[in-house]
Structure 1
C-alpha cells in the first residue's frame, strides 16, 4: 500500500514538467518549420539597380555637377564608362591653356574602387604639355547606379601647388557616355624610329658629315615616367662641319631657312640653339594615349606646316678652306615623314650662296 502511494505521488510530481517540455518542443518546431518554408527572394541583376556600397551620409545634390561656378562658362564634371572602369574629370581653363583633373575607378563586383588619378596640363601652342599623377587620400561613394549615376566625394592633392582639395561630384551617364578603350597609340618606333638616323655625305667622299637623328632622353623624375625624342640635325664634326643660324644679338637661334635666303650674315652658335624640328613625348603604361608631338611654337610648326621648302644652311672646312652649302629636307610629324631631298656644296671656297 505504501509502495503504491509513493509511485502515485512520483507520477503526480513529474507530469507537469513533462507537459512544459512538450509545449516548448512544439513551439520551437513551429518556428523552425515557418522559417524553412518562407520564400527566399534573391535580388535580380539589373543595370538600373542601385548598389548599396555607399559609405557617406554627406548631402550631395545635382548642383555638385558644377565644380567651379561661373556665370557663362562653369567648370563641370564629365564622365565616361566601359565594361571595366569609370572615368570622371573636369577641365579648368588657364589663359590660353588648360588643366584637366581625371579620376579613374575600377569596377569591382558591383562597386567601384579608385584606380588612379592624374592631372594633364595642355600647353597647346606655347608650352610643353605634361601629365602628373595625383594622390587621392580619401574617396567616398554616396550613390552608384551601375552605368547610370555616380555621386560622392574626392579628396586629393594637386601635385603642383601641393594643396589638398575636397570635391563633391554628381554624374549622370547615358549610352553616349560609353566608350571603347583605344589601343591605337602613336609609338615613336612605329612612326619615325625606323627612318632615323639618316646619314648625309655632302661632298660624296665616303665620310658622313651630318646626321638627321632622334635623340632619346629618359625622364625618370616625373610620374608617370616618359621618353622624349628630339628630332634634329647634328654635325659629326662641329669644328669643320657647321650648322648655321642668322646672326642675332640673343637667342634662341634658329637653324631653318626658307627661300629666299643667303649665307651672308650667318654663323654657328653653340648655346640657346633652337635645333629641334619636333619633340615626341612617349609615356609609360597606362598613359600611352597621351603620346604626342610637341608641334608648336617651341619647335618649327610655322615653318613645317606652310607650303615653302625647308633647308639647313651649312659651312664645311675642307683643306683649310671653307665652303657654304645647304641641305633640303622634308619633315611631317602628322604623317611620320622625314627625308633628305637634296644637298649642295659650293665648289668655290668662301663664296656665299643664296636660294631664291
Structure 2
C-alpha cells in the first residue's frame, strides 16, 4: 500500500467499510490482512479462509464474549485504550498481543474519532505499567487521524507521538514491534487531499522515526481507499412529479422536476445523513443525453415516506421518465453495509463484475506467488 525503501506498510482492510464476501475473498487472495471490530466480523473473515494471524481485533472497547471468541479462534492481536479494557482482556484472553490505541490530533479530519477512542499521550505510561502488572504483552501502538483527513501533516505528528509511546514501552521492558497507522485515506480522486500527498508525508515520518533498521512492522487500516470507487449504484426512477412555477412578468412557467428513486438515505445512500467525509452524490442518467437536449432543475428523493429522504436537493438533468435509471459512482464504502429496510423497502441487490484481465492477473499472482505477502 505504501512503500518505504526496503520496507512496506501492510494493509489490514477495514471490514466495516464494506463486508461483501467477494471483496473480502479477493483482498485475502492478494495478501491483505483484516481489521475486524466484532465477533461477527471475525467470524465472517475466518469463514472465508483467512488465517487468524491476518486479523487485528481493532476495536478498543470490546464485549467480553467477543474477546473470548477471539481467544478460542486464535486471534491474538487486539487494541486497548483504557485500564478497564486491560482488566477485561486479562480475564478473557491473557495471551493476547496488545496494541495501545493512542488518541491523536484529528482536528483536520471531516469525521473525528479521538473523542470516542484513544488514550491521551500523558496516560500511556500508566496504561503500560498496568499492562505489565497484569502480566499482559504489549507489542505496539495504533492511532487513527480521523476519516477524511485534510492535512497529511496529521500523520507525521501521530507517528511522532507513537514513537514516544514506543520508547516508554521499551523502557518498561516490552518488545515493541508493531505500528498501526490506522485509516483516513481518501477513496476517490476528487478529494481535496490526494493519497500520494499522504503517502509522501507518512514515508518521511516513518523514515525518521521508524526506519527499516528498527525492526518494526507497519500496518494500516484502509477501508474507503480500497472500495469507494469499486461500486456504482444503479437507481431506478419509480415516480415523477412536475412542479410548474408561474413567473411574475409573463404567462410562461418554469418547470422543476421531482424524481423518486428506489433507493435513498435509509438505504445505500445513508452516508448523506451522518458521514461528512462523503456528503454529496452526483447522479447521472444511464442513457447518454442528446447534445441539444434541455436540462431542468431537479430534486431527487428516496422511496420512503420520510421527507428527510432526499438524495439531491438541487441539480440539473435532462427530463427522465418512470423506469429510467440514474447511476451514482463511488458507492463502495459505508453504503450497503449500513442500509436499512425502513418502510419495508428491500436492500439493493449487489452484482459483482470482474474483467477477464483482472481475473487472469489474480490467478497468475496466486499461482506464481507474484504478490509479496505481508
Fold match by TM threshold 0.5: no
| Bigger fraction of residues in strand | 1
Higher normalized contact order (CA 8 Å, seq sep 6+, divided by chain length): 2
| Bigger fraction of residues in helix | 2
Larger radius of gyration: 1
The two structures have a TM-score, normalised by structure 1, of: 0.25
The two structures have a TM-score, normalised by structure 2, of: 0.24
